[in-house]
A = this chain, B = another copy of it.
Amino acid sequence: MSGSVRVVPPELHTAIASRLRAVGQRYTTNRRTLVDVLLGAGQPLGIPEILGAGERLAQSSVYRNLAVLEQAGAVHRIVTGDFARYELAEDLTDDHHHHLVCSVCGDVSDFTAPAALETSLTKVMAKVADETGFAPDRHRLDLLGTCTRCA
């Protein structure tokens, strides 16, 4: 839906392979397939959608491989409603963004926030770290509401 620019796949695969190696994991065919499916979607996908992508993947392997990919920092797991959704880690796609979560159908789509807001957020993270001792890695900003279809 967003048609945004993304990193060229070759580079992407290399980057992922390297992250996997860093946690002692291989970049297998199934894992590459998963990455391709997620890349092609341009939107966070749930397991049913991934399985339905016509790629002959075993459900258990999908779960297992997504866990491995997440641990390697290659994908992010988004839990919002009844089940989890997955998307490529944004630092891999050079596409930092946030989520529009529909409270009605549970659908999740992406949107990009103004740079100024991101800057403020970064400052807030530093401030919080300083004041509370909590060590923030990243932030997550979601807008909850009603999507066009469910309006």
Contact = CB atoms under 8 A, between A and B. Distances in A.
Contacts of A124: 113-114, 117, 143
Quickly give the copy total for this chain: 2
Contacts of A80: 79
Contact of A141 (B100, B140, B147, B148): B140
Q: Is the interface of A mostly helix, strand, loop or mixed?
A: mixed
A138 interface: yes
27 contacts: A79-B81, A100-B128, A100-B132, A102-B134, A103-B137, A111-B128, A111-B132, A111-B134, A114-B124, A114-B127, A117-B120, A117-B121, A125-B143, A129-B145, A134-B143, A134-B145, A135-B145, A136-B143, A137-B144, A137-B145, A138-B143, A138-B145, A139-B141, A139-B144, A140-B140, A140-B141, A140-B142
Interface of A: 79-81, 100, 102-103, 109, 111, 113-114, 116-117, 120-121, 124-125, 127-129, 132-148, 151
